[in-house]
Amino acid sequence: MKILISGVGGRMGREVAGMALQGVRGAVPVAGIDVVPMDTREFRTYTDWNDVEENPDCIIDFSHHTATGALLKYATEKGIPAVIATTGHTDAELAEIDEASKKIAIFRSANMSLGIALLVELAKTTAKTFPDADIEIIEKHHNRKLDAPSGTALLLANAIREIRTKAQLVFGRQGQAKREVDEIGVHAIRMGNIIGEHEVIVGTDTQTITLKHEAHSRALFAEGAMAAAEFLVGKPAGMYDMKSMIEAE
């Protein structure tokens, strides 16, 4: 499986490159692209999609959401599936991704961790079991992360809203207003070098259930993206996610 790494100069891009160079999931890195020029001995890198000469089997994207348009233009023109692991997309960019999925296979997830996929399902089950409980989501990341709340926190919140269809998201909390029954609180913490922690707290008058996932290494996200690429190659056009991959296994 020949892969092109978008955002190859970033932390996650380097993680993916390192794994691919070790042959994880049978991957071979044939090219990389990043806004910052860089040199690698193992494969060619570019700053412009128009200059890419290689023919990858799949793109793995850990770049920046503003690069989405150029990535999708290249991928759809070449007919190359793409794993989009970047977060912080605007509504317009998400619409672009949806439109592109009509032409190519796209795997999009706000978090590439299998553990997070499990957390999502547990959160939905808990929300269904305790329909009147208060639900709050707390996410923690390093002080360099740009988007808040995290894409994973929104993933969790929207999954719970599939069960609580009337729920409204409340970002942070301040002032003198009483908590409403249909609120789902979402709170972001930025400090130090925290890789990623996500906590779903479900509380009633008699008990509290806390569901938590903590990432110990960024390698787990790269590993998940590699698995997603392997899963995606050969798939027909459409939108795929962690649930798709888990159910296929």
Q: What are the pLDDT digits (tens) for 122-140?
A: 999 999 999 999 999 999 9
Quick one: average pLDDT of 175-189?
A: 93
Active site residue 141: yes
Percentage of residues of the chain with pLDDT beyond 90: 81
Residue 65 DSSP symbol: G
CA distance linking residue 104 with residue 106, whole number of Å? 6
Quote the pLDDT of residue 88.
84
Q: Which residue among 2, 64, 103, 145 is the active-site one?
A: 145
The answer to whether residues 20 and 27 touch, using CB atoms and an 8 Å cutoff, is: yes
Tell me if residue 151 falls in helix, strand or coil.
Answer: helix
CA–CA separation, 205 vs 63, rounded Å? 44
Task: List the structure tokens of 217.
Answer: 């290494």
The one-letter amino acid code at 210 reads T
| Residue 92 in this model has a pLDDT that exceeds 90 | yes
Options 141, 166, 198, 213, the catalytic residue: 141
Return phi, psi of residue 92, to 5°. -65, -40
pLDDT of residue 63: 95
Helix axes 151-161, 114-129, angle to 10 degrees: 30
Do strands 197-203 and 134-141 pair parallel, antiparallel, or not at all (unpaired)? antiparallel
From the centroid of its chain, how far is CA 62? Answer: 9
3-state secondary structure of 74: helix
In this prediction, residue 143 has a pLDDT band, given cuts at 50, 70 and 90, of very high
Q: What is the mean pLDDT of residues 6-34?
A: 93
Question: Residue 5 is which amino acid?
Answer: I
pLDDT for the residue numbered 225: 94
Please compute the mean of the pLDDT values over residues 219-227 and round it to a whole number. 91
To the question of pTM greater than 0.75 for the whole model, the response is yes
Task: Count CB atoms within 10 A of the CB of residue 130.
Answer: 15
Number of Cα atoms under 13 Å in the Cβ half of residue 117: 16
Among 58-62, 164-168, 207-211, 216-220, name the one with the lowest average pLDDT: 216-220
Q: What is the rounded CA–CA span in Å between residue 84 and residue 110? A: 8
